Amino acid sequence: MRNVVLIGFMGTGKSEVGQLLARRLGWTFIDTDRRIETRQRATVAQIFARHGEEYFRRAEAGVVAEVASRRDAVVATGGGVVLRPENMMHLRRQGLIVSLTAPVDILVQRLGEAKTRPLLRGNVRESVVRLLDQRRPLYRDADLLVDVSDATPERVVEAIMALLRTRERTTISVRLADRTYPIHVGEGILPLLPADLREIEAGTKVAVVSHHALLRGPGAKLLAALRAGGYEGFPIAVPAGEASKSLTAAAHLYTRLARFRLDRYSPLIALGGGVIGDLAGFVAATYMRGIQLIHVPTTLLAMVDSSIGGKTGVNHARVKNLVGAFYQPALTVADVRMLATLPERELRSGLAEVIKTAVIGDAVLFEFLEQHLPAVLRRETAALVEVISRCAGFKARVVEVDERERSERRILNYGHTIGHAVEAAAGFRRLTHGEAIAIGMALEARVAQRLGVADAKMVDRQNTLLTRAGLPTKLGAVNRRAVWRAMALDKKIRDGVLRCPLPVGIGEVVREQEVPDTLLREVLAGGQNSRRLRA
């Protein structure tokens, strides 16, 4: 998210508004006049008196060039900063420009005799009129103009926060039969969450469910943002790993929620990856018969998949997601800054779901990945926002027409029929979820080719991209018989026949295709004796 730069005439309250806004965002506040005074060891009035205005403007330009390169800063500038085009060029480079304005009468009233204002010599009103006539067009060249005549600093801050929520993130809406909820995607947007909570009329007590390490890192920033926005956050930690997706872990969360006296108006924030999202979502769906759920995913996989669409669940008896519910979140906030410290293997794992999305429904995304995969792997903000937004948009469209997976939503299971079985056969430890899905995609594409649904070129193009992303496309040492046994419990088997989505081409999929047992055994065997899979 870009810096916020406050411009405007003296007396418009830039410093007061800037400090309040910085506290709300958890950012650094910089007052350029104060920084100049510190470096010159003199007040602005003294600098003008000793050296003149031109000297001051040069010092100001130096400070502006320096602070403009800062990150996560609210910058309150002097009233004359707009006079030099190079100043505004620097400030606009990574900053939103907010101009605070007021009529002459209000400014004169606020400035009083203005003894400390070196440019207000003689008659204050005449000086204000003269300077405003010169600067007014420059003050109007801003991303937002706020009249502060009768607005409190708090109201001005709310207006700026509204601008940030509109301009600094991409929003995808999931439109369901009974309601609509947003998915926000952007960089550094987590501090905007309290304003989102007010919009959904959430209670002031907020539970934050996450892993210990995440609660010490992004969790601490999230809790600080909640406090700054007037909310009381209650962190609840669960151990990392698939083992936490259990009824035992769910019971632990129920106990903690009750102990904190959270009621049915208290939202629950799931801060983490798929495990946290599935577990916290299941708890939110069942605690007091349902409380508001907010997803704040911290992995690429969760941002493009598990935080969208309302699937929740826990594992049981080594069967993945056997116990669960469809329960839609109130909103999802995907802040790509969360991915900066994500382990490389986890980032690549998330790309399996991204590539799956591209294969089944977004040929443009697939081409983007072919061209810009290095930028994604370097975690460049623009590339990540593009990928996540396209994936979220596609999944939103699918969920809108089939919320409970009775028809169209089944296409999202591409790669998961074999992939979930591979994950179970590997004991939910040796392979990440994304790695298992990548293997599932490669094998299911092979099934599609054998059935004549897809051609060899499509299969090769998909597997090449998976390989470039550092993902496996073969079973390797995974026990084939264990995979076969796990598939016997698949929910997509009806009347003894497996029906699953298969790709037709890049961006196109057949929703439900019958797959003969003999063919499935042959593909799993991978050239070995398929009869061994009968054991």
Label residue 529 by pLDDT band (50, 70, 90). Answer: very low
Nearest partner of 208 among 219, 195, 196, 193, judged by Cα: 219
Instruction: Note the pLDDT tens digit of each residue in 464-508.
Output: 999 999 999 999 889 999 998 888 766 566 666 788 999 999 999
Same domain? For 184 and 319 the reply is yes
Same domain? For 197 and 336 the reply is yes
Label residue 324 by pLDDT band (50, 70, 90). Answer: confident
Which positions ≥6 away from 312 have C-beta within 8 Å?
Answer: 277, 278, 279, 281, 282, 284, 285, 324, 325, 326, 327
* Burial degree of 457 (CB within 10 A; 0-12, 13-18, 19+): exposed
Within-domain flag for 379: no
What CATH number has the domain bearing residue 500? 1.20.1090.10
Q: Which domain holds residue 211?
A: 169-342
CA distance 77 to 33: 7
Same domain? For 93 and 184 the reply is no
Same domain? For 203 and 141 the reply is no
Within-domain flag for 290: yes
Looking at 107, 136, 166, the residue that finishes a domain is 166
What CATH number has the domain bearing residue 156? 3.40.50.300
CA distance 305 to 455: 27
Instruction: Note the pLDDT tens digit of each residue in 268-277.
Output: 999 999 899 9
User: How many other C-beta atoms are found inside a 10 Å radius of the C-beta of residue 322?
Assistant: 13
Amino acid at residue number 465:
L
Same domain? For 261 and 302 the reply is yes
Mean pLDDT of 364-385: 98
- Specify the higher pLDDT residue, 423 or 376: 376
Which positions ≥6 away from 473 have C-beta within 8 Å?
Answer: 438, 439, 441, 442, 463, 466, 467
Amino acid at residue number 432:
T
The per-residue pLDDT for 485 is 86
Label residue 122 by pLDDT band (50, 70, 90). Answer: confident
The per-residue pLDDT for 180 is 94
Same domain? For 254 and 271 the reply is yes
Instruction: Note the pLDDT tens digit of each residue in 149-175.
Output: 999 999 999 999 999 999 999 999 999
The per-residue pLDDT for 494 is 62
Indicate left, alpha or beta for 290 from its phi (over 0: left) and psi (-120 to 50: alpha).
Answer: left
Same domain? For 462 and 426 the reply is yes
Give yes or no for residue 531 having a pLDDT over 60.
no
Same domain? For 175 and 153 the reply is no
Same domain? For 191 and 86 the reply is no
Mean pLDDT of 359-373: 98
Same domain? For 193 and 326 the reply is yes
The per-residue pLDDT for 57 is 96
- Number of separate domains in the chain: 3
Same domain? For 162 and 205 the reply is no
Within-domain flag for 380: no
The per-residue pLDDT for 496 is 63
Looking at 308, 342, 376, the residue that finishes a domain is 342
Within-domain flag for 12: yes
Within-domain flag for 208: yes
Amino acid at residue number 201:
E
Within-domain flag for 102: yes
Q: Which residues are catalytic?
A: 289, 311, 353, 395, 405, 409, 413, 416, 420, 433
The per-residue pLDDT for 33 is 96
Of 65-69, 425-429, 454-458, 474-478, the least confident? 425-429
Within-domain flag for 88: yes
The per-residue pLDDT for 322 is 82
Label residue 405 by pLDDT band (50, 70, 90). Answer: confident
Same domain? For 142 and 229 the reply is no
Q: What rounded mean pLDDT belongs to the chain? A: 93
- Residue 527, both tokens: 């050239």
On whether the CB atoms of residues 310 and 412 are closer than 8 A, the answer is no
Instruction: Note the pLDDT tens digit of each residue in 215-246.
Output: 999 999 999 999 999 999 999 999 998 889 99
Give the 3-state DSSP-derived string for 477-517, with helices as H, strands as E and coil as C.
Answer: CCCHHHHHHHHCCCCCEECCEEEEEEEEECCEEEEEEEECH
Q: What percent of the chain is modeled with pLDDT above 70? A: 96
Which positions ≥6 away from 394 have C-beta within 8 Å?
Answer: 357, 361, 362, 365
Looking at 114, 145, 166, the residue that finishes a domain is 166
Within-domain flag for 67: yes
CA distance 114 to 126: 13
Instruction: Note the pLDDT tens digit of each residue in 103-112.
Output: 999 999 888 7
The per-residue pLDDT for 162 is 95
Place of tokens 């830039």: 14
The verdict on pTM exceeding 0.75 is: yes
Mean pLDDT of 184-205: 96
Mean pLDDT of 408-426: 92
